Amino acid sequence: MRKKMVFWATTVLGFGLILPVAAYPSDEFDNVKLTCTSFAAGRLATVDGSALSGHTCDGNCDFTIRVVPRMTHQPGEKVRINYAGLPGGFNHVVQGETEIPQVPVTYQYFHLECPIGNEYQVFFGENTCGTRREFAVLSREEAKLDYTQVAAQGLQRGRTARQAIEAAGALIEKYGMKGLGGSGESFLVSDPREAWCFEIVGQSNQWVAQRIPDDHVCPHANRMRIQEVDLSDKENFISSPDLIQHAIEKGMYNPQKDGPFNFARVYSGNQSRGNRIREWRMFSLLCPSKKWDPEAESFPFSAKPDFKISARWWIESVWRDHLDDTEYDPTKGISGGPFESPAFARLVGMSSERTICTPGSGYTWVSQARSWLPDPVGGVVWFGLDCPRSTCYVPFYVGISQTPESWQKGDFTQFNPESPRWYFQVIDTFSWLKYNQMHQDVRKVFDALEEEFFDEQADVDKIAAALHEENPELARDFLTQYCNGRAAKAEKAAKELFYQLLTKYAEGGPRAQISPAWSEIIRKK
């Protein structure tokens, strides 16, 4: 009884000490559910020669992952937009049949809040970005495509990153994009040979895309990343035809006075600290040999990393990063609370930096696109539900025919024991109680599974490629069974871990080590 009283007294003491000092909410707290982080890497920047991309879909995003199959369409058929989102999640306008002509064949792709990848190893990672209101020329009723539909249409129509961008761009030029609250959008798009950044102005028909150098990585954190644009360089830039002229006509760009056209400078509107600090962190992790200024207003479009990166490295080092071991690390000192939790400051209303890893994630992923393998085998998404720090990433190859039924269940308004997302979510939330101890229990289980999945990838690739050469349907069945089996294994582990944590930490036990900063506070009290 005395041990439990000491535990809760310490926790209450912490709240009493902090709240009077920090009686204001963090500016980033309300925005954390509306911001995402993305990246793309060229094939020469990676360990194995695959092009990488990825996205943290932060907020109440539709986390259900399902396969939309390849389809054929009749002449005169129109695109139907009937996606509403999840209950309690972000809403999407249901339009039914639109005026947009359907193409004869649409390609298979993974559908979520922001559709991910198609059967040809084309992947889209999304970011909402502020753009200047002066450039909004369409109402939300006039614009037909939101961020979900831009990605979905590009993936259904493009066999390469460039084709997908050009197809989506052509639709934007004619039908316009609905901005999220008037904002623009940016997509990091990759295929086995190229990686691109594709940016769209909110409530308009304007867009631009820049190819990422093959040996570079482009980090992205909710602000436009494309800077100087050279439209005469057809290999590296594509855009709407009147992108620059539109800026001139709006009085926002003067070629004689302003010099070379800089897209981000002219069109971009959101320059928040939370965006800049995440860009700084990604550049710092990629190029630790260089001194990056956390107070800088801008960073390069892309950079060549100091070392070759991999999907696994990005998951472990970037998606799970809380500004670890920097002066902004939220787990250190008073801000981490008694048990060094990255969520403690936000829980009690303290101001803290916006970290890449956040409890507000709906889902996160990293993709591999590999030119030396058949498309159904070469493209794979490493997919994690909820917060990166407390999830288990599982592989979904682009050639599979379906995902597990339980991974297609979603609702933010009520707990569903048949939806694996809820177990990953409650594990993350519960771990805040004694983070420095409970998080170790979580990672011990999920790290072992992730290591198993990554270690067996080479054998899975080899078997699937051989089956594909014999009969593509055999490879499809094999990969579907494999991916669904690994997803089921991760789901089972999450459910078992949740109950194990409930049992182990019942009644406030076992005793946990209090951080040095908080030990000093208690000693002085």
pLDDT of residue 350: 80
Q: Are 480 and 464 in contact, with CB atoms under 8 Å apart?
A: no
Complete DSSP assignment for 153-221: HHHHH-SSHHHHHHHHHHHHHHH-B--GGG-EEEEEEE-SS-EEEEEE-TTSS-EEEEEEPTT-EEEE-
Q: Has residue 507 been placed in a domain?
A: no
Q: Where are the beta strands (DSSP E) in 353-509?
A: 361-369, 380-385, 394-397
Identity at 512, one-letter amino acid code = A
22-35: pLDDT as tens digits: 222 333 333 444 58
Q: Has residue 304 been placed in a domain?
A: yes
pLDDT of residue 19: 30
Q: Is 22 exposed, middle or buried (0-12, 13-18, 19+ CB in 10 A)?
A: middle
Which of 240, 151, 230 is CA-nearest to residue 187? 151
In whole angstroms, what is the distance from residue 379 CA to residue 124 CA? Answer: 12
How many structural domains is the chain composed of?
1
pLDDT of residue 270: 64
Classify strands 380-385 and 361-369 as parallel, antiparallel or unpaired: antiparallel
Complete DSSP assignment for 336-350: GTTTT-TTHHHHTT-
In whole angstroms, what is the distance from residue 164 CA to residue 155 CA? Answer: 6
Owner of token pair 């590296």: 236
Q: Has residue 225 been placed in a domain?
A: yes
The contacts of residue 147 (CB under 8 Å, 6+ apart) are 114, 126, 128, 177, 180, 185
Question: Tell me, what CATH number does 301's domain have?
Answer: 3.60.60.10
Which of 333, 371, 406, 319 is CA-nearest to residue 65? 406
- What is the length of the chain? 525
Query: CA torsion 388→392→397→401, rounded to 10°?
Result: -110
Q: Are 377 and 464 in contact, with CB atoms under 8 Å apart?
A: yes
Q: Has residue 5 been placed in a domain?
A: no
Q: Has residue 18 been placed in a domain?
A: no
Which helix H or strand E contains 519, and what residues bound it?
Answer: helix 516-524
Owner of token pair 């639709």: 171
In whole angstroms, what is the distance from residue 272 CA to residue 25 CA? Answer: 16
Q: Which residue numbers in the chain have pLDDT < 70?
A: 1-34, 270, 525
Q: Is 449 exposed, middle or buried (0-12, 13-18, 19+ CB in 10 A)?
A: middle
Q: Give the tokens for residue 477.
A: 């069945």
pLDDT of residue 4: 37
Owner of token pair 């150098």: 213
Range of the domain at 412: 25-493
The contacts of residue 163 (CB under 8 Å, 6+ apart) are 122, 157
pLDDT of residue 515: 84
Classify strands 237-239 and 207-212 as parallel, antiparallel or unpaired: antiparallel
Q: Are 86 and 411 in contact, with CB atoms under 8 Å apart?
A: yes
Owner of token pair 């005169």: 76
Q: Has residue 512 been placed in a domain?
A: no
Q: Has residue 525 been placed in a domain?
A: no
Which of 453, 465, 280 is CA-nearest to residue 356? 280
Which of 141, 250, 137 is CA-nearest to residue 202? 137
Q: Give the tokens for residue 171.
A: 């639709």
In whole angstroms, what is the distance from residue 478 CA to residue 396 CA? Answer: 12
Q: Are 372 and 117 in contact, with CB atoms under 8 Å apart?
A: no
Going 200 to 201 to 205 to 206, the CA torsion angle's sign is: negative
Q: Where are the beta strands (DSSP E) in 82-162?
A: 96-101, 105-106, 109-111, 123-129
Q: Are 483 and 400 in contact, with CB atoms under 8 Å apart?
A: yes
Q: Has residue 504 been placed in a domain?
A: no
pLDDT of residue 26: 33
A 10 A CB-CB count for 387 gives 27
Classify strands 51-58 and 361-369 as parallel, antiparallel or unpaired: antiparallel
In whole angstroms, what is the distance from residue 231 CA to residue 312 CA? Answer: 36
pLDDT of residue 5: 31
In whole angstroms, what is the distance from residue 180 CA to residue 50 CA? Answer: 32
